[in-house]
Amino acid sequence: MEKLEAARQLYRAAGDKGKEALTLVGMGSINDSLGEKQKALEFYNQALPLLRAVGDRGGEATTLNNIGNVYDSLGEKQKALEFYNQALPLFRAVGDRGGEAITLTNIGDVYNSPGEKQK
């Protein structure tokens, strides 16, 4: 995390929003893996406006999907769906069939509960 934070600061100083965003996504992913869900959300939410500013729709979609995964793991299924449903059209727009498939699977997993199986 120290090295990623140092890289983030260098990218910020250089004005490279795209690389700064990818660094933030990496920091979010590490925190998610460590079970630090709120920290993960903070990093992902810092990355989103940077990804949007540089027009990285694929990175934006991946980050939205990651946020959905965090909310799903926290048991906040409705919030997870909100983020998955934001990610899905972006994956489709950039032609990322793998990202689209992952997101559809994530949506299906949310609905894989009593009373929602048909969805």
Of 97, 90, 87, 25, nearest to 106 by C-alpha is: 87
Cβ-based neighbour number of residue 4 at 10 Å: 14
| pLDDT tens digits along 26-62 | 999 999 999 999 999 999 999 999 999 999 999 999 9
Alpha helix locations (H) across 1-119? 2-14, 17-33, 37-54, 57-73, 77-93, 97-111
pLDDT band at 112 (very low <50, low <70, confident <90, very high): confident
Q: Is the pLDDT of residue 115 over 90?
A: no
pLDDT for 114: 64
Q: Is the pLDDT of residue 113 over 80?
A: no
Domains of the chain, first to last: 2-111 (1.25.40.10)
Q: How far apart are CA 49 and CA 3, in angstroms?
A: 22
Of 60, 47, 66, 62, nearest to 99 by C-alpha is: 62
